[in-house]
Copies of this chain bind each other. A is one copy, B any other.
């Protein structure tokens, strides 16, 4: 996996800690420029080091504010911080809606912090592989902390487990009751729960609901729980247990914290919870388990991407597709016969090469 000369240059500047080289590396990966996989291979040989902290939750929950607080706190401790913010994007658009990125501007002049906004394009509702690769790049660059912010709409938030070691789920009283959160799968992925804007009405009720749900999930009385709001709590608990070893079994109790983004109230407790989770991750062996699971997902993603690139990266396959669509329209083919032809052509072409 030899690097081209420009990428070899880039690698040297990247390893020398030049921020512009990091920015260029992220762009290289995001745009899948020739050789980007070789570059990733080169910088990832040392494996992951950074503490990766993910924030997810509904739009407007104040995730950016919390990210800013944590970033500022880590900077005070002289740790370097990378931030990856993921904008949900319509698959119809290459662009991304801009949200509350602005709030981070006060951190933008600090050379010890690097903020990058990524689109979700190319991966319907999930984190794009290139986004996870940008996180890897920040890790490999030497940031002690990489903070990842994803807007939790739909299933996106679930994929944050494939990018972060510690997942913080941020809810607000307005974001609906905890039952809805469970439905969306948030309950399955949280290492820490935060009720932000906790000075607003409904905060106490939300806190109570989340704590109850966590308690139920812990499994003490699962069999006796009635279905509620159409959601079978026992079943949700069982699903979580299959997904990851229940934290309770291994000694981690999910904290449910209150914060007020505007005043910073509760932020020290959040920082403390993140530290305790980190200590638990490393002490229990869970960090290794999560990193291996992440590597597994990555290998699969990269293999699938390479196969798609082989399949669709040529003018030949594009032409075969259009020809096939004509045949389908004329009733002479179906998507299945056209697809078979494209797959066979691909294999034959490779065979001949």
Contacts and interface: CB of A to CB of B under 8 A. Distances in A.
A50 to B, nearest CB: 16
Contact of A302 (B240, B299, B310, B336): B336
Interface string A1-35: 10000000000000000000000000000000000
B242 A44 contact: no
Contacts of A337: 1, 41
Interface stretch (A86-94, A191-199, A216-224, A260-268): A86-94
Chain A interface residue count: which class? Answer: 35 or more
Contacts of A73: none
A204 interface: no
Interface string A63-94: 00000000000000000000000001011110
A124 B159 CA distance: 9
Contacts of A184: 153
Contacts of A185: 90, 92
A95 interface: yes
A313 interface: no
Contacts of A306: 339-340, 343
A205 interface: no
Contact of A158 (B92, B321, B343): B92
A225 interface: no
A208 interface: no
Contacts of A239: 90, 92-93, 95
B183 A59 contact: yes
B124 A334 contact: no
A188 B90 contact: yes
Interface string A232-244: 1001100110110
Nearest to A184: B153
Given A90-B158, A92-B240, A325 B299 contact: yes
Copies in the assembly, this chain: 2
A62 interface: no
A327 to B, nearest CB: 10
Given A41-B334, A156-B154, A306-B343, A324 B299 contact: yes
Interface string A284-321: 00001001100110111011101110111000000001
Interface stretch (A96-104, A107-115, A163-171, A273-281): A96-104
Contacts of A97: 183, 230-232, 235-236
A258 B311 CA distance: 46
Contacts of A153: 153-155, 184
Contacts of A242: 92-93
A3 B197 CA distance: 60
Given A88-B154, A347-B347, 12 more contacts: A37-B339, A44-B335, A45-B331, A45-B334, A90-B239, A124-B124, A154-B155, A155-B156, A288-B329, A291-B329, A295-B328, A296-B325
Interface of A: 1, 37-38, 40-41, 44-47, 59, 88, 90-93, 95, 97-100, 123-126, 153-156, 158-159, 180, 183-185, 188, 230-232, 235-236, 239-240, 242-243, 288, 291-292, 295-296, 298-300, 302-304, 306-308, 310-312, 321, 324-325, 328-329, 331, 334-340, 342-343, 346-347, 350-351
The 5 nearest A-B residue pairs measured at CB:
A154-B154, A125-B125, A125-B155, A92-B243, A302-B339
